Amino acid sequence: MTALIIDGKLVAAAIKESLKPRIASLKAKGVVPGLAAVLVGDDPASATYVGAKAKACEDLGLYSEVIRQPKELIEPALASIIHGLNANKKIHGILVQSPLPKHIDEEAMTLLIDPAKDVDGFHPFNVGMMLIGKPGLLPCTPHGIIKLLEHYRIDPDGKEVVVVGRSNIVGKPVAAMLMQKGKMANATVTVAHSRSKNLSEITRRADILIAAIGRPNTITGDMIKSGAVVIDVGVNRVENPTAKKGYSLVGDVDFAACAEKASFITPVPGGVGPMTIAMLMSNTVTAAEKSTEK
């Protein structure tokens, strides 16, 4: 079997296109959805992510602000920026780009964001709403994964899903979303992590395998069953002297070997990554719509 390659760029473009009439109708009411990104420090990957998010806003005609701060920024100063954005009527979505410098408590900062503007879906209010299956702002990468599956008519209902990784931003929420009672859910979900024993026995059970590990080539061809759907969330920089930037981006999955056995597989780049940004745009538009209902 040779897998069909899931095209995240194509699905993300379709999602962004579907937002246009909603944005137009908000603009007709005098509301331009606005996203503020706070970037602390000079991590090059973070700067790239924030740049891509601002560009996506621009392409869709959304208002965007990037607030750049030095790595020495103290926590009360960041708190005051967040309070200001909470009160700013032009801003409907706030994201504080991770990772923050070590002296800043990231969880404490997340708690300060107004849950109605928490377009990353990381605030405990939104996490709780997701867990109990109620509407709220969903975390972008997990929601993007579900949208990819939906686009390719891969229904998780009744399937064995194995998620490798248990982070608060990918592993846990995608597992929680897929185990819900409802559409594009109803899966039997197993979550594995670095302390799991016999990882390949667990992953071989998966009809749908989601790798959110952050280590290249962790999922090898012998770890998946024939016909599995493989979703690779990982984004890892590996040295590559022949590449222009001196590195290449690879996922957590041995793409070539798994593509031989899988039914569907996401590439890195061009799989889950573009979906994260599309869902961020979607959350910003949703937050702007909700603000008009108040």
Residues that bind ligand NDP (CB under 6 A): 141, 164-167, 169-171, 192-195, 199, 212-215, 218, 233-236, 272-273, 276
> Alpha-carbon distance 129 to 121, whole Å?
10
Taking CA atoms, 17 is separated from 56, 58, 68, 252, in Å, by: 12, 13, 29, 30
- Of the pair 148, 212, the CB lying nearest ligand NDP is at 212
Min. distance of Cβ 76 from ligand NDP in angstroms? 27
- Of the pair 49, 116, the CB lying nearest ligand NDP is at 49
- Of the pair 185, 223, the CB lying nearest ligand NDP is at 223
Q: Is 97 noted as a catalytic residue in this protein?
A: yes
- Of the pair 26, 235, the CB lying nearest ligand NDP is at 235
- The answer to whether the beta carbons of residues 121 and 283 sit under 8 Å apart is yes
Q: Is 53 noted as a catalytic residue in this protein?
A: yes
Q: What is the maximal distance between C-alpha atoms in the chain?
A: 57
Which residue is at the shortest CB distance from ligand NDP?
167
Residue 99 preceded by cis peptide, ω within 30: yes
Active-site hit among 16, 97, 232, 261: 97
Min. distance of Cβ 172 from ligand NDP in angstroms? 9
Token pair, residue 240, equals 């590559």
Active-site hit among 117, 118, 120, 261: 120
What is the 3-state composition of the chain as percent helix, strand, coil, each rounded to the nearest 5? 45, 15, 40
Q: Is 120 noted as a catalytic residue in this protein?
A: yes
Active site residues: 53, 97, 120
